[in-house]
Amino acid sequence: MPFPNIDPIAFAIGPLVVRWYALAYLIGVLGGAAYATTLLRRHGLWKDNRPPFEPSAIWDFAFWAVVGIIIGGRIGYVLFYNFGYYAANPGEIIALWDGGMSFHGGLVGIMLAMALFVRSKGGNILSGMDLLGAIGTIGLFLGRVANFINAELYGAPTTLPWAVVFPTDPEQLPRHPSQLYEALLEGALLFIVIRIATNQLGALKRPGLVAGIFGIGYALSRIFVEFFRLPDAQLGYLYGGWLTMGMLLSLPILIAGIGLIVYAMRPARG
């Protein structure tokens, strides 16, 4: 398949250029906050009818979410994906406009922001993490679609009928559209699973359960797609022609997800 002719720049107003990738971040945060409001308003979904904070506070948290994602995502990329370059060029660390963000770092950043925010509101921190798990798939879906539009993070060569020839590929080979694989698995499918868990199965009544489902779902999806996605050029494969940094960083998320589910499902005392 030829790559669809989509300009990475969504629109420009004079010297101001707005890219689809930036819009994905913005819409992901705003859309996530809007969806979070619907969950927070339904007190009956939460343990003891008590959400981690009141619905109106989500817009205050949205600001801290953006800060956490950007700082965490950038630090994660610097440390795990291109440390040698940034150690030699520390001034480039703040050059966010040149790209370079790590989902795993962004996840740590937004989790820290949520923990501090919920604590300041006197709520249950695990319930706050559940809220992140319920809304995080929205940003994941949009972000991976934006990666596809940017023709970046594409996959290995393949002869499958839905293979795409990306304009940024110097070899111009048909490749797995691995960005869309991630959008469908980490974004759409995981959203549906968590939506059923929260709205039909009462998962929010067990703090930590939804966060655990998200952790396991994301980690397994990411590890699976990494078998089809090319590793970052500056890193390559870490071992045996198959192990990637994305797989390695997803393992702690998988383990944490399992731990959260075990904790959430423990028998009630008394």
Q: In 159-260, where do the E strands start and end? A: 164-165, 174-175
CA quadruple 198, 203, 208, 212: dihedral positive or negative?
negative
119 marked as binding residue: no
Put residue 241 in one of left, alpha, beta given phi > 0 → left and psi -120 to 50 → alpha. left
Tens of pLDDT, residue by residue, the chain (270 residues): 789 888 888 988 888 888 888 899 889 999 999 999 999 999 999 999 999 999 999 999 999 999 999 999 999 999 999 898 899 989 888 887 677 889 899 999 999 999 999 999 999 999 999 999 999 999 999 999 999 999 999 999 999 999 999 999 999 999 999 999 999 999 999 999 999 999 999 999 999 999 999 999 999 999 999 999 999 888 899 999 999 999 999 999 999 999 999 999 998 765
* pTM listed for this prediction: 0.93
Measured distance CA(251)–CA(38) in Å, rounded: 31
DSSP SS3 for 10: strand
Q: What's the count of helices (H) and strands (E) in the chain, helices before strands?
A: 9, 4
What's the token pair of residue 251?
A: 């393992």
Q: In 14-69, where do the E strands start and end? A: 16-19
Instruction: Give bridge partners of residue 13 from the DSSP assignment.
Output: 16
Q: Which residues contact 257 (CB under 8 A, 6 or more apart)?
A: 211, 212, 213, 214, 215, 216, 217, 218, 219
Q: Which residues contact 65 (CB under 8 A, 6 or more apart)?
A: 29, 32, 33, 110, 113, 114
Q: What is the dihedral of CA 95, 229, 213, 49, to 10 degrees?
A: 40
Domain boundaries, the chain: 9-48+124-264
